[in-house]
Amino acid sequence: MSGHSNVLKPIGCCLHTPIPILVFEFAANGSLADRIYVSRVTERQHQPMVWERRLKIARQIAHALSYLHTAFPRPVIHLNIEMHSILLDEHDVPKLSNFYFSVSIPEGEAGVDAPFISTFRSPEFRTAGKVTEKADVYDFGRILLELLTGEDFWEISRLTIDKDSSLVAYIHNLAQGSCINEIVDLAILAEDGEGGASLEHQLQAVLDLGLACTKEDPQRRPTMVDVTKQLRRIERFTQMGEELRGNLQNLKLLESVEEHASASLKRNPSSDEIQAVNEASERPLEV
């Protein structure tokens, strides 16, 4: 797993302590939470992260998750995707970390019983206790909504949300007939200059993608490969003038019943799947 440029790499193990300590590469710029959550940005007097950087980080982490899901004979499910699990190096390159709850899907199986209770649980985990790669898709969708709003899933500071609700449920309800400006982090809206229309289209496309990823039914969520491809399209919007609206409807959000049944019998990724992950980012993931 550490072979991917956006996964935090272990560099050694310290044996001179009562309990061995793993040593990882240094993430000089801390966690993504400190640069995104409005409450933390204000408290630490940090400069809010610009939208272009947020979008690039989202695409890079999506690519890392696609790698986990397709590059191994037994797909790896992270199960703990949150802002604090994404660290930034000195160049703000994101590094996915915290694999404590990660599990791999047994060969020949479609899902796996999650042995631990992860911090963020997808609906299917709460109801059945069994997860697939789509659990990571749900958690990644929540990350997209946090990148858009600047809100902490656990500690909402700007939006008015009922105590019995959640950020995901709130945005699903609000998105039905609301202006995107009511949801988006004010720091992003402050960037709006010459490319106002382009920025608005990008924000709407990311919102649509976040909503698709956080659907209750896991089979209706896109795969991480599809998510990575869509984020690449959204990044290119300002350069190519590509029309993004409606693209989500063209994604393969569902696998057919036959494909799903086949996947239950054979979890090994095909060469086409692995190639799709590689093609999802046509340029190297450097800053």
Contacts of 42 (CB under 8 A, 6+ apart): none
**pLDDT confidence bin for 41, thresholds 50/70/90:** confident
Proportion of the chain in helix, strand, coil states, percent, rounded to 5: 45, 10, 45
Question: 77 and 112 in contact (C-beta within 8 Å)?
Answer: yes
In a domain, 251, yes or no: yes
Question: 267 and 108 in contact (C-beta within 8 Å)?
Answer: yes
In a domain, 2, yes or no: no
pLDDT at residue 107 tops 70:
yes
In a domain, 4, yes or no: no
Q: Measure the CA–CA gap between 137 and 160, rounded to whole angstroms.
A: 26
Q: Measure the CA–CA gap between 167 and 164, rounded to whole angstroms.
A: 10
In a domain, 206, yes or no: yes
In a domain, 3, yes or no: no
In a domain, 219, yes or no: yes
pLDDT of residue 278: 56
pLDDT of residue 255: 44
pLDDT of residue 247: 56
DSSP, res 7: B
Domain housing 241: 10-280
In a domain, 1, yes or no: no
pLDDT at residue 264 tops 60:
no
In a domain, 181, yes or no: yes
DSSP, res 238: H
Question: 199 and 51 in contact (C-beta within 8 Å)?
Answer: yes
**pLDDT confidence bin for 99, thresholds 50/70/90:** confident
Instruction: Give the domain CATH number at 236.
Output: 1.10.510.10
Structure tokens at 12: 């050694």
The more confidently predicted of residues 80 and 116 is: 80
Least confident piece of the model among 22-26, 38-42, 54-58? 38-42
pLDDT of residue 233: 95
Question: What total of structural domains would you count in the chain?
Answer: 1
